[in-house]
Amino acid sequence: MKASLHPRESERLKVLHSFEILDTDPEQDFDDIAKLASEICEVPIALVGLVDADREWFKAEVGLSVPETPLSTSICAHVIVANDFVEIPDTLEDPRTRDNPLCFGKNGLRFYAGSLLMTDDDLPIGTLCVLDYKPNRLTPLQRDTLRVLARQVMAQLDMRRALRVAATLRQEVDHRVKNSLQAISPLIRILDRQAQADETREALSTVRSRIEAVSALHAELHRVDAGPVIQLDHYIGNLAGHFGPSAPPWVTLELDLKPIEVSSRQAVAVGTLVNEFAANAFKHAFPDGREGKVRIEIGPADGGRAVRLVCRDTGVGIPAGAPTETGGIGIKIARVICAELQSELNINSSKGGLAIWLEFRKD
């Protein structure tokens, strides 16, 4: 007897396909559930079956060794319509299965029990079922266990779909962020060229540095798919790839970056500070073709619980008479960033160059 269609068949199929699970490779999580169902119910066959429009496809199977069966011979198709737990003690005595060719002969399937794989919208997409080659009955504990395991199958399917949807949304956000950053940077450059006051140009330069730092952070997060925690050394290395080419030909950029992870919030602050220090050094520390280098050092401190950042150059240092406590806008920006990182800024300036350093605890 062929099963009739579910009363909400089109909706049911749409939901089934939304999981994008059909024809995927075997997975240990589902295989383990099928194996456990077989062992607890003490039967040779267990299946995680998904009922499609014209077939039943098995995401996991124990004891059957076939990937799918036609819908015309699917016992699970009857369970979909019944919309409840189904147990058939002897398939040759049940009108739904007694003419099913899978139930005939020496190796015919004589026992079936299936628990629905039900979505939150009360739409059945398949079953977790067990079968035997002889008539059988489950105990109340075995029936309850099969129901619990069916819910675990649905939990796995729901989790995979949710993660896939989240990944799609993140890609859309990534695309929008990238376009926004690309649109803002040219505008800042235009305003910079039109600005008359030095302080305005310095402020716009700082805004551009922060945008570049955020852009590089966005690229790093997208590259490693690491969420809110990233490798600071990789991030600063990538950021240096952006500001490094702006160095004068007679200035060398050196990086000493030890592996260390920080939050994305702290990474943006560090990136902004490094970017600002390098930009100021390239612009002011090496006048008249003076050769030198800018060096950035990052590494763990306090047994790995903190981060130490050192930025130094071999330039002319802060001009004589300029107070290092207040300093120019570059020092002011550095102090603001240190406040963000809840750390203290240390400054040393001499004829041999300028060095700033700080330590901050990781979030």
Domains in the chain, please, with CATH? Answer: 9-162 (3.30.450.40), 226-361 (3.30.565.10)
CA–CA distance, 126 with 15 (Å, rounded to integer): 11
What integer pLDDT is reported at residue 283 of this predicted model?
85
Residue 208 confidence (pLDDT): 66
CA distance 155 to 163: 12
Distance in angstroms (rounded) separating the CA atoms of residues 76 and 73: 9
Sign of the alpha-carbon dihedral angle for 204, 210, 214, 220: positive
Radius of gyration of the chain (CA): 33
The β-bridge relationship of strands 229-231 and 251-257 is unpaired
- For residues 253 and 292, the answer to whether their CB atoms sit within 8 Å is no
pLDDT at 238: 83
Quote the pLDDT of residue 129. Answer: 97
Provide the pLDDT for residue 82: 85
pLDDT for 326 equals: 46
pLDDT for the residue 3: 83
Residue 110 is encoded by which pair of tokens?
């004589």
Of 103, 95, 119, the C-alpha closest to 13 is 119
Q: Contact, 104 vs 91, CB < 8 A?
A: no
Residues of the chain with pLDDT under 70: 166-192, 195-196, 198-199, 201-228, 320-330
Question: What would the two tokens of residue 141 be?
Answer: 């504990």
